[in-house]
């Protein structure tokens, strides 16, 4: 039997990336500045994590101008929502097994 921790998705499980998907699952879309503020990360750090999620197909990034100011919008994809749900289920299985005294 495989231990649930072995199937955690390394792309999603990292704190900032998990936070990005969690925020987007609630709002579907958020701008870069908002994500940076709520996740308490630098712009460079957030950019790196967004690139990883975008490369994996979990988010889409769109750039636009509003009132002549550039804005970067981030949207979760269907694949991203599915991956987040799977990660949450895996974490629940892992946590539910704590203290059970059973070995896998």
42 lies in some domain: yes
Tens place of pLDDT for every residue, the chain, 104 residues? 677 677 788 899 899 999 999 999 999 899 999 999 999 999 999 999 999 999 999 999 999 998 889 999 999 999 999 999 999 998 998 888 776 655 55
CATH number at residue 77: 1.10.10.10
Number of domains in the chain: 1
Residue 102 counted as domain residue: no
Residue 103 counted as domain residue: no
The answer to whether position 101 is within a domain reads no
Considering the domain boundaries, does residue 20 fall inside one? yes
Number of neighbouring beta carbons within 10 Å of residue 1: 6
Helices (H), 1-104: 10-13, 15-27, 32-39, 43-55, 78-96
What residues make up the domain containing 14?
Answer: 8-96
Residue 43 CB-density burial (10 A; 0-12 exposed, 13-18 middle, 19+ buried): exposed
pLDDT computed for residue 1 by the predictor? 62
């Amino acid at each position: 039997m495989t231990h649930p921790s072995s199937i955690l998705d390394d792309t999603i499980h990292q704190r900032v990336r998990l936070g990005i998907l969690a925020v987007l699952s609630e709002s579907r879309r958020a701008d870069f500045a908002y994500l940076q503020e709520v996740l308490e990360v630098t712009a460079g750090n957030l950019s790196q994590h967004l690139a990883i999620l975008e490369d994996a197909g979990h988010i889409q990034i769109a750039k636009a101008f509003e009132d002549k100011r550039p804005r970067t919008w981030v949207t979760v994809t269907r694949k991203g929502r599915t991956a987040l749900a799977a990660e949450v289920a895996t974490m629940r299985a892992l946590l539910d097994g704590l203290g059970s005294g059973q070995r896998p």
